[in-house]
Homo-oligomer: A and B are copies of this chain.
Amino acid sequence: MIEARERKDSISEEVSLGGLETTVGFLLRLAQVAVFKDLLAALKPFDLRVTDLSVLLVIEATPGLQQRVIGEVLRVQRSNLVTIIDQLEARGLVRRGPVPGDRRAYALSLTVAGEALLQKAKAAHAQHDRKVLDALGKVDKAQMLAALERIAAL
Chain A contacts to B: CB under 8 angstroms = 11-12, 15-20, 22-39, 54, 57-62, 65, 69, 72-75, 128-129, 131-133, 135-139, 141, 143-154
Contacts and interface: CB of A to CB of B under 8 A. Distances in A.
Nearest to A132: B24
Contacts of A39: 25
16 contacts: A18-B61, A24-B141, A24-B144, A24-B145, A25-B32, A25-B35, A26-B54, A27-B145, A28-B31, A28-B35, A30-B75, A31-B148, A34-B153, A35-B151, A139-B146, A139-B147
Nearest to A134: B150
A145 to B, nearest CB: 6
